[in-house]
Amino acid sequence: MEDSKKKPIMIGVVVGCLVLAGVITFATRSGGPGGIKDLKRGVIYWVKCTNPDCEHEWEMDRKDYFQYLKDHQDPMSMAAPGIVCDQCDEESGYRAEKCEECGLIFTRGAVPHDFADRCPDCGHSKTERLRKEARAR
């Protein structure tokens, strides 16, 4: 085939691929942006005050938790803002875990370089347990 005939065919193939990519992208994208407003209530997170004189623990709905973080996040900071503790009135509340083995409530990441839900008291991690169960299947 002559070069003068190849060029329009190649352009047509490229344009066709771009149109197809656009159609696939449009057809598979999500219906909306999602976000906090779409979260359903009823999922509970533990929060623990890190003030050593307080150490209050409380439950917070996931939707309220993420709304608080959104409303109080410093755009220049990579860290989550502290939640105001209703006992000591300090911004010292952070997401916590309740160990399913011993019941201890501890801040996430209490054991450095390990699963975020590793209990510093008994060493149990729900994430580790679930991964082991999944591998066993």
70, two tokens? 């959104």
Measured distance CA(73)–CA(76) in Å, rounded: 9
Measured distance CA(110)–CA(99) in Å, rounded: 12
DSSP readout, 12-28?
HHHHHHHHHHHHHHHHH
This prediction's pTM: 0.67
Please give the pLDDT value at position 137. Answer: 85
Please give the pLDDT value at position 75. Answer: 84
Please give the pLDDT value at position 19. Answer: 56
Q: Which residues pair with 48 in a beta bridge?
A: 57, 94
Query: In order along the chain (137 residues), what is the average pLDDT of each group of 10 residues?
Result: 68 61 60 72 93 96 92 87 94 94 94 94 95 92
Instruction: Give yes or no for a contact between 129 and 136, defined as CB atoms under 8 angstroms apart.
Output: no
Please give the pLDDT value at position 20. Answer: 56
